[in-house]
Structure 1
């Protein structure tokens, strides 16, 4: 990989469920040191690293820090944990997974229980309400060490797999990583750039609108993963949305936003001029931080760059190394060529 894989692995393996992104936030602040001219954190937990430009024109770049996870809602008399979701989960991917339970004092390893196939009813339906976590501890000890409201994240390492990278929380830490890498590459920009690590995107795009008001940018660019359905089970290539290894995805729409035509056209033009591999993204469903900036505190031109990702919202989310590089390259080139004079009006 031609980028800092160790930092990407650190970001993805670190826990940070919606509203409790503290550990990821610490990494972001660390990476902004010596890069941003100023760094601040708002009341929601969004982190903004600002690189001052030579004009009053301001651009926001955003990627979210949070990952889908859970919160403990009940402890049974037998010492098992029942949970509530933080973000959208497919229950089918949860059986027999290892998790980390984050208490006030410590992290505890647990597993999500699964009934053995020997005795399982084939017609049995499974939902998140059926999930329980086994900590391997006596009930009395669980009561002493765990409290309702404690957080749960999936326990998974991030590894290279051929030309690809797989692990948990690539949604959206791979884009957070791309943003941080671009921030390190951009120097003496013509415009002021606010690099924003946002919170609570997985709960309905909650952090970005707050920044839209606080920063009131002239242009906003969001980064998020997108669906790559280039799989044997998907026969119609029109349903792929994107394909791994074909480059960064320039978003045209998702279910929450239609990006500004002149913004995505300039992104495409920059990609073509710089020979950055790219593809166009039309995402039928799924919301991103892009929408959080479009009409907050007045209408704004917006664009978005996505990293194609297989197996979204699982612990084996998978991206292609060359797509990650292309995303960093495209974002950097777009920001380096932003003068504040481009006409994005309709």
Structure 2
């Protein structure tokens, strides 16, 4: 799993530019499903036959990034956000464009950190003029953050663990499941970070009976952290609520029962911010019961996110248990 995470997080794939990560996942799972398709939006959907109930899992492939909005006369790139980024965390961070061009984020002088907005930031790609910069990068190009995977033993740090960790869980579950009791639609979605877009269209086409997103969640286990119950190393998190979703009671009860029955460590998640693909799935057509299996993660939406591999393993086991449990709602 650690090597899979290393490979997944090394691939740049900001929202709307998921081609590389999709190709990698497609090659990784092609021998573990009955059908593999890519829909109009770019979602990768792996189907595995198993039963009458249609169960959709969703893990998003995209990551946060930046998009070039203008190039000034000195060759510095002005940029906007792709997904949720915090300006005060960006100074001196590195980014890389699809053609390999690398840059570092600089900032204009500000007297107060509160004045540090995206408009005060720029990307320096080492160009001495606008003409030189335009030979490397054009307006409208999207870059991902460029940081290596770090192995800390039982915990790892990387960019894009939101949500390559969810992709890793779904890939590994597909490899482990032996007797699926439901028709499985394992969906690797696009453009989650900019509005849950891929999940919305995928669920519309699949029309599942139940939907479960796989994503990260914040923690409350660092100094002076927000008062959140989730902690690294305490197991998979079964979501109760976030901004986009109140988990369907039957889904919460199902996941809790399966965790307890199979001796899988778990914790409950109530998140006062953010949302996941489940928020879009539940509102599809006439409504779909939906929930989330989350992996606790520190330093969300930064180039240095951290997870515990025990939580990752617990999430895989819970997904497999759900796949192999005959579901009726």
With normalisation by structure 2, the TM-score equals 0.96
Secondary structure of 1:202's match? coil
Distance 1:134 1:260 in 2: 47
Equivalent residue, structure 2, for 1:302: 290
Match status 1:204 vs 2:200? no
1:188 CA displacement:
3.4
1:124 CA displacement:
6.8
Alignment match of 2:307 (pick from 305, 319, 329):
319
Cα deviations across residues 83-137 of structure 1 (Å, max 9, x unaligned)?
11110111111000111023xxx2111111146xxx8635672011211111113
Equivalent residue, structure 1, for 2:210: 219
Cα RMSD over matched residues?
1.5
Q: 1:225 to 1:137 in 2, by over 3 A?
A: same
Alignment match of 1:138 (pick from 111, 114, 128):
128
Kept in 1: contact 2:110–2:116 (CA 8 A) = no
Distance 2:169 2:120 in 1: 37
Match status 1:108 vs 2:131? no
Equivalent residue, structure 1, for 2:278: 290
Stretches of structure 1 lacking an aligned partner (at least 5 in a row)? none
Q: How does 1:74-113 map to 2 (within 5 A)?
A: 74-102=70-98, 106-113=99-106
Kept in 1: contact 2:107–2:120 (CA 8 A) = no
1:145 CA displacement:
2.1
Distance 2:48 2:139 in 1: 41
Distance 1:141 1:197 in 2: 38
1:222 CA displacement:
0.7
**Runs (4+) off by over 6 Å:** none
Distance 1:248 1:298 in 2: 29
Equivalent residue, structure 2, for 1:52: 49
1:186 CA displacement:
1.1
Equivalent residue, structure 2, for 1:266: 254
1:206 CA displacement:
0.8
Q: How does 1:1-346 map to 2 (within 5 A)?
A: 4-53=1-50, 55-102=51-98, 106-114=99-107, 121-122=111-112, 125-139=115-129, 140-234=131-225, 239-337=227-325, 339-340=326-327, 342=328, 344=329
Stretches of structure 2 lacking an aligned partner (at least 5 in a row)? none
Secondary structure of 2:55's match? strand
